Amino acid sequence: MSLFDHSLRELQQKLTAKEISVTDLVDTSYRRIAEVDDKVSAFLILDEARARAAAKQLDDAIATDKSMLFGLPIGIKDNIVTKDLKTTCASKILDGFEPIYDATVMHKLDDAQAITIGKLNMDEFAMGSSNETSAFGVTKNPWNTAYVPGGSSGGSAAAVAAGEVLCSLGSDTGGSIRQPASYCGVVGLKPTYGRVSRFGLIAFASSLDQIGPLTRTVADNAHVLEVISGHCTADATSANVPVPAFSEALTGDVRGLRIAVPAEYMGEGVDDAVKQSVRDALHVLEGLGAIVEEVSLPHSKYALATYYLIASSEASSNLARFDGVRYGYRTENAEDLLDMYLKTRAEGFGEEVKRRLMLGTFALSTGFYDAYYKKAQQVRALIKQDFDEVFSRFDVIIGPTTPTPAFRIGEKIDDPLTMYANDLLTIPVNLAGVPAISVPCGFQAGLPLGLQIIGKHFDEETIYRVADAYEQATGFTKEKPAL
C-alpha cells in the first residue's frame, strides 16, 4: 500500500471495512520514511514507539463516530510544542528541549485520534524561504533533490510530497506554508489569523503567525482544518467564531463567482512560465463559469519592506526568552551572567536569525521606532484596506504563489535580499490577516508551480470551493515525484 494512492476519506472507508488497520497505515508511513528520507531529510525526529503503541490501541478499540483523521499518520513542524517529544525550531539553542505540555492543535489531533509520526525540519525559528537555515541540515525537494523544498515549512511540504505522511502541519508567517507547498507540488493553506490557536506555536512574529495544514488534495486539507480550528481560551488572538464543515463546501460549482487578478501579482519579477500557468488556470475557472477581472492592490509594492520590519521587530521581542537560563542550549565558557547571555545567543542562533534580531531591535530602538516600526504598521493598514476594497466587489483573489519555481540548494543562501523576494506574493496575505491556499497548477522543467487563491476573512469555504473545482478540472495534485 502507498499513502500516495488514497485520500483521507478512502482510507477511513478501508479502516471501517477492516480492509486495513491503523497499524498498517503506521507501518506504511515508517517504511516509506526508511526508503526515502535519507534523500529528502524531512524529519528531525521520529516518535515511532509511541506511534506504534497508539496504533495498536486504536486497532484494539471499538471506534464509533470516527473523526476523518482517526488513525491516520501526520507530521508536525518542529516549532509546534509536543509534550515529551523534542521540539527545537531547528535551532541549536533549543537542541534537547522536551516540552512539558502540548500545543492546542496537538490536543485537537489527539482528540481526533490522529497518529503523530514525528517532527519535521524547518528554517531556524521559521526564518527563511528555503529550509537552508536549519541547524540540523537541509531538506531536499522530492521532485529534484538538488533543489530546495521552500520554507520555512519545507519539511512539512516535502514529507507530504514524498508520501511519508498523509498530511502535516506547518506555520505561515509570510508564506511559509504556501511557498513550500508550491515548490513541492502539494496543497497548503494559511487560515485566517485567529482561526487556529497559536497556543504552543513557538512564536516568530505573533501578529502574523498561523498554523495550517499541508496535504496532497484540497479535500484532505479541508478535513484537517476542520479538526484543528476553533476558539482557544489560552490564546488571546484566537477568534471565537463557528467552525464550518469546510469539506461540505467542495461542490465543484464556481458559476458566477467573481475572481480578481491583481496586476501587481503578474508584473515584473514573476517568471513567464509562472504567469502562463496562472493564465491557464484562470481560463479553466472561466470555463467553469467564473468571472475574471484584473484589479490593483496598489500598496502591495510596500509589503516586503513592511513585513520585514514588523516581523523582525516582533521576533526581537519573542526570541529574547532564549537566554540559556531556563531551557535549551547554554554556553560552557561564560565568565559571568552577562557573558553567559551574550555567548549563549551568539553560539546558539544561526546567521539568519541574528540578522533579523538585529534588524528588529534597531527598528524598535529609541529614535527609530516612529520612523520604522510605527510607519510599517501604518502601511500595513493601507495594505489591508486594499484587500477590503477588492473584496467588496469580488469573492476571491487569484495569482501566483511564488514568482519562480524552486531554486537550487545554495543558489541564494548568501544573498538575503534576493531570498526575501521569494515571499513577495505571499506576504501581503499575512499583513492583512486573510486566508489563502496554494494548489499545484503546472510544472516548469519538472518542478511544480503553485496557484494562490486568497479569500475574505473567515471565508475558507469559498477558497476551498474554488481550489477543489480547479483541482478536479486539472488533476495536477495526482502527479507525484519519482524518488
Residue 171 maps to a domain: yes
**Model confidence pLDDT, tens digit, residues 311-360:** 999 999 999 999 999 888 999 989 999 999 999 999 999 999 999 999 99
Using the CB atoms, write b or e for 75-86: b if 16+ within 10 Å. Answer: bbbbbbbbeebb
Cα 448 to Cα 167, 314, 445: the distances in Å are 18, 33, 9
Give the model's pLDDT for residue 483: 84
Q: Which range has the worst mean pLDDT, 57-61, 233-237, 385-389? A: 57-61
| Residue 64 confidence (pLDDT) above 70 | no
Quick one: pLDDT at residue 315?
97
In the residue annotation, 384 being an active-site residue is answered as no
Q: What is the pLDDT of residues 261-273, one digit of tens each?
A: 999 999 888 999 9
Q: pLDDT tens digit string along 168-205?
A: 999 999 999 999 999 999 999 999 999 999 999 999 99
The pLDDT of residue 456 is above 70: yes
pLDDT for the residue numbered 63: 66
**pLDDT score at 413:** 86
% of the chain surpassing 90 pLDDT = 91
Comparing 155-159, 208-212, 314-318, 413-417, the range with the smallest average pLDDT is 413-417
Tell me whether residue 41 is one of the annotated catalytic residues: no
Please state, rounded to an integer, the average pLDDT across all residues of the chain. Answer: 95
Tell me the CATH number at 75. 3.90.1300.10
Is 387 inside any structural domain? no
Summarize pLDDT for 365-378 with one digit per residue, the tens: 999 999 999 999 99
Confidence class for position 419, pLDDT limits 50, 70, 90: confident
Residue 415 has pLDDT above 90, yes or no: no
Task: At 13, list the grid cell.
Answer: 472507508
Number of domains composing the chain: 1
Residues 108-147: pLDDT tens digits?
A: 999 999 999 999 999 999 999 999 999 999 999 999 999 9
Please pick, among 176, 300, 312, 316, the residue that the annotation labels catalytic.
Answer: 176
pLDDT at 398 over 90: yes
Whether 247 is catalytic: no
Q: Looking at the domain assignment, is residue 344 inside a domain?
A: no
In a domain? residue 391: no
Query: Looking at 77, 119, 140, 190, which residue is catalytic?
Result: 77
Please give the Cα distance from 208 to 204 (Å, whole number): 8
- Give the per-residue pLDDT at 417: 76
User: Within a domain: residue 342?
Assistant: no
Instruction: Give domain status of residue 170, yes or no.
Output: yes
Confidence of residue 165 (pLDDT cuts 50, 70, 90): very high
C-alpha distances (whole Å) from 202 to each of 94, 210, 315, 321 are 11, 11, 11, 11
Domain that holds residue 222: 3-251
Which residue out of 41, 152, 229, 316 is catalytically annotated?
152
Give the tens place of pLDDT for each residue, 230-248. Answer: 999 999 999 999 999 999 9
- Three-class secondary structure assignment of the chain: CCHHHCCHHHHHHHHHCCCCCHHHHHHHHHHHHHHHHHHHCCEEEECHHHHHHHHHHHHHCCCCCCCCCCCCEEEEECCECECCECCCCCCHHHCCCCCCCCCHHHHHHHHCCCEEEEEECCCHHHCCCCCCCCCCCCCCECCECCECCCCCCHHHHHHHHCCCCCEEEEEECCCCCHHHHHHHCCEEEECCCCCECCCCECCCCCCCCEEEEEECCHHHHHHHHHHHECCCCCCCCCCCCCCCCHHHHCCCCCCCCEEEEEHHHHCCCCCHHHHHHHHHHHHHHHHCCCEEEEECCHHHHHHHHHHHHHHHHHHHHHHHHCCCCCCCCCCCCCCCHHHHHHHHHHHHCCHHHHHHHHHHHHHHCCCCCHHHHHHHHHHHHHHHHHHHHHHCCCCEEEEECCCCCCCECCCCCCCHHHHHHHHCCCHHHHHHCCCEEEEEEEEECCEEEEEEEECCCCCHHHHHHHHHHHHHHHCHHHCCCCC
Residue 1 scores a pLDDT above 70: no
Is residue 42 scored above 90 in pLDDT? yes
